[in-house]
Structure formats: structure tokens, C-alpha cells
Chain A
Amino acid sequence: MSNTPGYHGSYLRIDLSAGTMTNVPLAAETLRNFLGGVGLGTYLLLAEGVAEHDALAAEAPLIYVFSPLVGSPLTTSAKFAVVSKSPLTERINDSLASSAFAIAGKKCGCDAIVVVGRAAAPSVAVIEDDQLRIEPAGDVWGLSSRATEDALRERLGGDYQIASIGPAGERQVHYATISHDGRHAGRGGSGAVMGAKQLKAIAVRGTRRVAWHDSKALIALSKDLSQRSFGPATAKYRELGTASNLLTFNRLGTLPTRNFQQATFEHAAAISPEQLTATREKTRASCAACTIGCEHIYAFGGSGASSDGLLQKDAGVRLEYENLFALGSLCGVSDPDQVLAASRRCDELGLDTISAGGTIAFAAECVERGLLDVPWLVFGDGDAVLRALDEIVAGTPLGQQLALGSRRLAEQIGHDAIDFAPQVKGLEIPGYEPRTLQTMALGFAVGTRGADHNRSSAYEVDFSEAVDRRDVQPHEARLAVDIENRAALLDSLVLCKFLRRALEDFYGEAAEMLQAVTGWDITAAELEATAARIVAAKKLFNIRAGWRPEEDTLPRRFLEQPLPDDEQTTLGAERLAQLVTAYNSARGWTSEGWIEPVQQASLGLSEL
């Protein structure tokens, strides 16, 4: 039992090859330095000492991490991080999901679950408190995550929470997700890492609760935060969902279209949530322990079913901006039914929609340019997108190529394909056009998990008065550092990023929450330093995994080719390089981005 309230003070380490589980203590200092979620997961990943191993090797760890706030009454705190090396990028991957899995996992008496090794056959790891048993998963192999959860609950009992992979994870598609209760730890292919371990699912049930340092203060803070979460700062998410970005981004020339060949989509209105809401029913839902409820689920009667019957015909479709852009405008698809069908299919198969859409859109451009001989794969054809998704998971020759993501597909195709593969470090670029959102472009370039908007959050700077988003200058790189640090803190506490505007004094309020939970006499300044440490720790992992400075850039398309309806706007290789240098300097790293031993020491990372 930990001396630190809010924590158990240990993690469970499962070796699937040996079928064993051990309870490993965590030092109080480690908890304070890395908090939980992404921060603690990065520490544990580094501590395993296998950064150079292949992401899908048996030795590669897959880490589920909870946080001090999990189980507390603080709104949106039921989150867990999944941290591993990414098969797409061969760099760190930290993805987050919100669900009751976080609460049940922590009640097993641990702050994290580290999984190494590989099971001899498809398996389910069943953890009840600190006891492990490995059960066969042959009967659920091939099922969607949802069907797997249902089948295993029937087998194990209803009160287990189950995180699992779908068919994409089993096939080790490099952008497969891990899912629980319809929420995905989505980006970077953690589902493939789980599949490589022959681990179909992890089921958790426990009885162990942590103490809170000051329950009265925690309840007061929670009530206040919940109250604010009903206010204007989150109205967009509650009432419209993230999909409402679509028309705004289209108007601002930041909506990636046809593999980033354009940044406006002439059919945006047809696939907009405004149009979808006018023509079909919509319901709202929320993650566990969330008072915001940003999930908007659209009724969908179209079949979209694959021949193996994976899909339920009457299920609604949860629609986020990223699905809408990646499977809509990015692939040039204007039929809302086809976008909904593709979105649902990704959900059931366990595919990251951004990487799936990005890779398919890239392939479509390769077909257009005569670099790939797949005549049916053309922009604007929603049936082609559905077929491509099925081929990815069926493992056809084309599907096997697409399953590797756009960077590896470009390397196989050769010619100049890598110049327009929509990725950074191998991770497909999300729905934020880098040429017209240049702080975001910097965030993509330096991002430790590749092109990722959530870990960077730099789009927030671009959508503000702070910069001219079409002409961001090196002295403004500091803003990308500040916003990335805040994101790192949110991802380590863990709280939902959609709450951030409800926090008036970001670091101060986070410190108050941690004080109430843990009893630490922690300050806003300490938390700022902690956030910077966590970002640096992620970079340290990448350095150990073989990172080189030349990775911190964007594909040539974004540096050399202006957008057709915004020809004045350019980013250019030279200015991006200046921005990256300024970012590195602002972090106190070398201008190329290395972390010197002295800097490592000052960040409190020496022991790693």
C-alpha cells in the first residue's frame, strides 16, 4: 500500500511468455515526477530499457497507465493511457482512452499494468485484484471489440471491464486500435502491439480503492469543475461535438482534402454535422465520469456490413471531426452515408480512422499519378474506401501494403511518393492543414509520436490572435512549447482536453486538485516543470530508439507546393527549420534537438 494518497504505489508487470505477474513498487518520487497517464507510462517505458527493440517484438512493453485522479469525482478523470513503441513510427506512442476500464484497472490495486512477452496462443489476460490468469481467446479471435467484450462478459461475469483489439489488431495492422466500450486508444498502432503479443483482451476487476488526502476539498473542487463543465467553455462539445469543426475549417482553408492537395472541400456542407442532423436522428453520450458528453451518435440504417457479419446493421455511428475529415474530405467522399459506413467499419475492425483515411487517400493519389495500379481506388468513391478498409484487414496483397501506413507504402512505391505521403515520422497527419496552420506544422514536425494534434495542441495558438497562422515566425515557437507542456500535463493527470478552457488558472487549479488527492505541497511552478520533464522524457525515449534531427520536418509537399486557392501562403523548408531550431532552444535542448546530460539532470531525468 502506497503512502501517497491517490496512488497504490506499484504496478503489475505481466510476462505473457511465462504466464506470470509480479507487483513492482513505484517510488513516491517517481509518482510526483511523472504523475500518471502519459508521464508515468513514459517513465515505465524508459525503465524497461528496450527502446531499440522492434515495436512488435515480444520484449517490447505495452503499458496501460492510470493516474492519481482516476476514481475521483473530478469530471472527465476516468481515463487511461496506453504507452508503447509504435509500429508505424518506431518511436514512442502514447494514446488515451476514456472509460470505466481505467476505474476498474486501478481497483486491481495498481497504478499501471506493464505487459511484455508473447502468449503461445491467442489469449485473454484476466486480472482480479492482483491475481492473473491467462485464458484462451480462440473463441473470440476474429470478433470485433464490441462483440469480444460481450462474449467475455458472458464468460467471465458482467462486472469485468475489458479492453480488446478487433480484427485489425490481430492482423497487426500498424494503425490498429485498442478499444473499450466503444472508445479507442486510437493512434500509433497500440492494437498491433497487443496483437503481436497474441493478447486479444485484458479483463480487469478489483476491489482496492485508494485514499484521498482531503476528501472534502476534493469534492468541493469536483463540484465546482462539474459546474463549469456545463458552461460556455464546453458548449461546442456538448451541443455539436467535434464534428462542428468541419465547416469552420473549410471556411478557414484548413480542411485537408484529397490527400492534402486542397484545403477546402466543395462538398463539405453535404457531410457536415449540420446536414447530418437535419436528415437523421442523433443521440448524445459521454465517457465514464464525464459531465460534458461530447459524443454525438448518428442513426445509420445503411448496411456497411462486411461479408463476415462483423457489423451490426442498426448500430448508430459515433462521429468525430477526425473521422469526418479522414474518411470524407481527405478521400474526396461527399456521400454522408458512405462516410458513416466507413467510420463504423473502422470502429468495428479497430482501425485508427486518421491513419486509415490518410493511407487510403495517399494510395488514391498514387493511383491518380500512375504509381499504383489499383484502378478502382479513386477519390470520391466511398465504396472504394470501404473496400480498401476490408482489404486492409483481410490481408489481400493491396491490404497488406496499406496496413503498413503511408510512409512504408511510399517507400515501397518509390519515385517521389514519399514527398506527398501525408505523415510525419510515419504517423498520418490529422485534420489540420499545416500550410495554413503553421504553429501546428511546427507541432507536427517536432511531435514525439509524429504528426499529432492532441499531444501538441498547437492549433490552439493558430486559432487565436497570438500569431498570423499563415506566417508564423521563430520567436513564436515558444507558444508551441507552452501549449505542448499544458497538453502533457492534462495527458498525465489525466483530464480530458475538452475541459481545458473551463480551467481559468491551468497550472494553479491542477496543483489544487493534486494537493487534495495526494497531499503533496505542489505548486503551479512545479507542475510546469513536471510537464516539461514529461515532454523531454518522451524525446529521450525516441533518442534511444534511434531518433535523428532530420525526422523533425514535414513532407516536401507542405514545404514546396502552395495550396491552389491560397497561393500566397508558403511555409518553406528554411522557415520550418528555423521554427524547429527555435522550439529546441526554447526547450533548452541543443539546436538540433538533442538533450545533453546536463539538461537531462536539470530536468530530473538523470536516473533514466
Chain B
Amino acid sequence: MATEPVLEVADLCAAYGRTPVLRGVDMTIAKGEIVSLIGRNGVGKTTTMRCLIGLLPATSGQIVFLGQSITELPADERARLGIGYIPQGRQVFPRMTVEENIAVSLLASPGKDRRLTDLVYQYFPILKQRRRQSAGTLSGGEQQQLAIGRALVGNPRLMLLDEPSEGIQPSIVDMICEVLKSVRDQLGTTILFVEQNLDTILAISERCYVIDKGAVVAEIGRDRLRTPEVVRHHLLI
């Protein structure tokens, strides 16, 4: 496993208006790692992700991506540097087709590598079948696949996924987990994902950060992750 960090987050703080929500998030993620971020409802998981992609400004702290500080960069520049964002609730463009949803991200990326579209259709054959259908009419599971595929065509070095299993049937969740693993294995993509579903956490994460009240309070390493009780304990603190 390479050790060069892809993402280093130091003492990240953020607020909605005057209400502080993040009070010191620290993480370091190495190239090719699959790391999960867990915690109870409302502790700031989504806020952390929005801060990392740049949809919410940091009030203090540092975000370093591939050795470059991105703390002050707007979201579109971060995306073009190689961060793919798959938000909670998927947020596909409802009145555009599957194909167009994917094209948005492809056209916006600096590489514009059209072969990635074929790769996405290989990973998610259902998207190819439905490519002319408007995204708003897809099922939840299909929209999740689209949100992931859409991020993938931007050729990200780091993917941020916010609860990819939320509201999706187990067989599709398994399939998505398999795809994420192959993405990492074939493309070397680093993955950080927020999750509350114990099975998904255990299935693919190699390391895990626990967040509570806006701060990272624990890190669960490879060895302790093999014991589900440890993770379950942290999901319920």
C-alpha cells in the first residue's frame, strides 16, 4: 500500500450562518485507500463532505489534496483537480437524460476522456439501457448508480460518497460495493464514504473515522474493523 496522502484534513471547522457545525475534523487518507466516515444522525458527516468538495466554506482549518491546499478553492476547481462528489440523496439532474447527466461531468472535466463513459456503462449496464430516459424517472438504486457513474467520468483521484446505500435494496448495495472495489483496483481511485449501514461499512472499508458533534473522535484501524461489535458500538454512541 502506497503511503503518499491523497487527502489531509487538519482541524477543519465550518458553520451554517453563526451555528458552528464542524469543530475540528482531522483525517489523513493515503492513495488507494477505502475509508469510511461514520457517526450518528446530525453529527456533521454531510457537512464534512460538503466542506471537502467546497460547497460550504471552511471557517478555519486546512484541506490538502494531492499536496496542494484547496481550502480556498471554489467547488468547480476542486472537481476539476480530481475530486468526484456523490451527494446524499443523489441529486441527479431530474429533467435531463441519463446520458446527459453523465455528459455534464465529462464535458466539465479537464481530460474529457470519452472512454470513461463506456467504462461506466460496463460497471452499470442498467444505465446504458436507460440512457435516453430522464433521470428523474429512475428508481433510487438506478439514480445512485447514475450519481456514481457521473462522478466517475470526471476521472477523479478521490471519490466522496455520502451514504451510497441509503434507501437502496441490499442486492444493489452489494453490486455498488463491488464496483467501488474494482474502481479502486483498476483505476487506483481513493474513496472516502459516509455510511451508517454496518454491512456496507464492513464490506468495503479498510479504515474508519468516527465523527461526533462535529469532530473526529476515533479511528478504527484495519484489525479492529474485523470485529463488528466495535463498529456497532460507535454507530450507537
Partners in one complex: no
User: Could you tell me which B residues sit within 8 Å of A by CB distance?
Assistant: none
Q: Interface of A with B (CB < 8 Å)? A: none
